[in-house]
Amino acid sequence: MKFTLMLKRFAFIALLAAVAVAGGALLPALAGAAQGTVRIDSAQAGAGQKADITLSARDVGTPGIGAWTIDVSYDPATVSVVECEAEHGGICNEAFAEDVVRVAGISLAGLMGDTDLAGISFRCEQAGVSLLGVSIDVLSDASLGEPQPIDASVLTGTLTCSEEPPPPTPTPVAPTPTVVAPTPTDAPAEPPASEPEKAPGDADCDEDVDSIDAAHVLQFEARLLAEIACPENADANHDGRVGPIDAAIILQTSAGLLG
Ligand SMILES: [Ca+2]
Ligand SMILES: [Ca+2]
């Protein structure tokens, strides 16, 4: 009898151990959204000199980044922005605000691992230290149809400007935003409610959903485009906001990836 009791206890303990192992194996699956880090590098330069600084995403897991809007802030009293080059077909607006550069983009394939998002060239206007802040406005993964937010941490940087004689002719270059004229349209701004729903994603109302619509949405997000011809179409995920997630969905649609 004692032996049977011991056997039962052993079986019970073995069962508990099996449940614990299974529970542990489930934990990573329950961890949720993809993670990663968005960081901006630090640099040093003399007053009047330029410094090229990289905005990047690090350690991003599957399915990768599908849409992003990231604001880089700086101290305009110490540094100015000379230019910004976005990677992966993204877009930069150096003059998004007096002290903010906006970088936005989309990727159908998803950006995984370590990848550069933009190269920003600053100029030191005087000696001092400018914090380079990173603010994630949108960062979603490359899931089809319903991109999920990526839980990313942020690493800020600094641009340290040392005391050095300025160049003989300091010519501060004012950032010149490219304003793309909105496509003219004869369509009424507010279609009657009874009218059948227009093609979701057709942001420019040319009766076609294509990558141009995605580009318009991105340009609008970066405020390089003042307005969108058909904003109700541009809000592809119907969340009341026109942004890079919509651009990603539009690109997915135009690529025939969605039904
Ligand atoms: Ca269109
Ligand atoms: Ca939307």
What mean pLDDT do residues 8-32 have?
A: 43
Which one is predicted more confidently, 27 or 32?
A: 32
Identify the CA nearest to 83 among candidates 167, 221, 175: 175
The fraction of the chain above a pLDDT of 70, given in percent, is 75
CA 43 – ligand 2 centroid, Å:
36
| Overall average pLDDT of the 101-117 stretch | 95
Q: Please indicate whether the domains covering 35-162 and 178-259 agree at the CATH topology level.
A: no
How many angstroms separate the alpha carbon of residue 44 from the centre of ligand 2? 39
Mean pLDDT (whole number) for 136-141: 93
pTM above 0.85, yes or no: no
Expressed in angstroms and rounded, the spacing between residue 163 Cα and the centre of ligand 2 is: 47
* The pLDDT value given to residue 112: 96
Ligand nearest to the CA of 203: 1
Per-chain mean pLDDT for the chain: 83
Locus of tokens 């960081």 = 39
* Ligand 1 centroid – CA 205 distance (Å): 5
Which of 151, 160, 234 has its CA nearest to residue 198?
234
For residue 188, name the pLDDT band (cuts at 50, 70, 90): low
Query: Domain residue spans in the chain?
Result: 35-162, 178-259
Q: For residues 225 and 206, what is the distance between their CA atoms, to the nearest angstrom?
A: 17
Give 39's pLDDT tier (boundaries 50, 70, 90).
very high
Binned at pLDDT 50, 70 and 90, residue 169 comes out as: low
| Residue 198 CA, ligand 1 centroid: distance in Å | 11
Average pLDDT estimate for 54-68 = 96
Spacing, Cα 254 to ligand 2 middle (Å): 16
Indicate if the pLDDT at residue 109 is higher than 60. Answer: yes
Q: Which CATH architecture has domain 178-259?
A: Orthogonal Bundle (1.10)
Beta pairing, strands 50-73 & 35-40? antiparallel
Residue 101 half-sphere exposure toward CB, CA atoms < 13 A: 31
Task: Report pLDDT for 14.
Answer: 46
- CA–centroid distance, residue 251 to ligand 2 (Å): 13
- 138 CA to centre of ligand 1 in angstroms: 23
Q: Say which CATH class 35-162 falls into.
A: mainly beta
Closest CA to 235 of 212, 205, 257, 202: 202
The Å distance, Cα 232 to ligand 2 centre, comes to 9
pLDDT of residue 256: 81
Closest ligand relative to 247 C-alpha: 2
In angstroms, what is the span from residue 102 Cα to ligand 1's centroid?
Answer: 25
Q: How far is the CA of 83 from the centre of ligand 2 (A)?
A: 29
Within 8 A by CB and 6+ apart from 22, the residues are none
> Average pLDDT of 133-158?
94
In this structure, which amino acid lies at residue 115? T
Cα(234) to ligand 2 centroid in Å equals 7
More confident residue, 89 or 25: 89
Ligand 2 centroid to Cα of residue 237, in Å, is 5
Ligand 1 centre from 130 Cα, in Å?
42
Ligand 2 centre from 31 Cα, in Å? 26
